[in-house]
Amino acid sequence: KQEVTQIPAALSVPEGENLVLNCSFTDSAIYNLQWFRQDPGKGLTSLLLIQSSQREQTSGRLNASLDKSSGRSTLYIAASQPGDSATYLCAVQPSSGNTPLVFGKGTRLSVIA
């Protein structure tokens, strides 16, 4: 059974720092991996999706990498801003088609001005 773990559970950094959020999964046979952002009391916003054949994806100040063989993904946030404060969730899709996403518990990020 696929399990997804995110470390750390919470992180507080000063504005301007570069930071890395970690995600690990137990079964390397995944179809894709997706990073989401969730603001308090809100729904999830998709940030980046990495297909199993890809190594990384970039969007603005965000860069997500995938190492399928070791069961790891990282989300790199450059030059953090207070507006980046949110919970970041990692989810894997085990296979194509009807399989639901398996979510980690998230990392709660606070960027202090």
Partner 1 sequence: SAVISQKPSRDICQRGTSLTIQCQVDSQVTMMFWYRQQPGQSLTLIATANQGSEATYESGFVIDKFPISRPNLTFSTLTVSNLSPEDSSIYLCSARAFSGAETQYFGPGTRLLVL
Binding residues (CB under 8 A) for partner 1: these are 31-32, 34, 36, 41-46, 49, 51, 89, 91, 93, 96, 98, 100-101, 103-106
Q: Which residues contact 12 (CB under 8 A, 6 or more apart)?
A: 109, 110, 111, 112
Per DSSP, 99 falls in state P
Least Å distance, CB 61 to partner 1, is 20
Kindly tell me which of 42 and 61 has the beta carbon lying closer to partner 1: 42
Q: Which residue has the tokens 């899709």?
A: 93
CA distances from 76 to 27, 42, 54, 61, 96 (A): 23, 23, 16, 8, 26
Residue 70 CB, nearest approach to partner 1 (Å): 23
Minimum CB separation of residue 105 from partner 1 in Å reads 4
Q: Which is nearer to partner 1, 14 or 60 (CB)?
A: 60
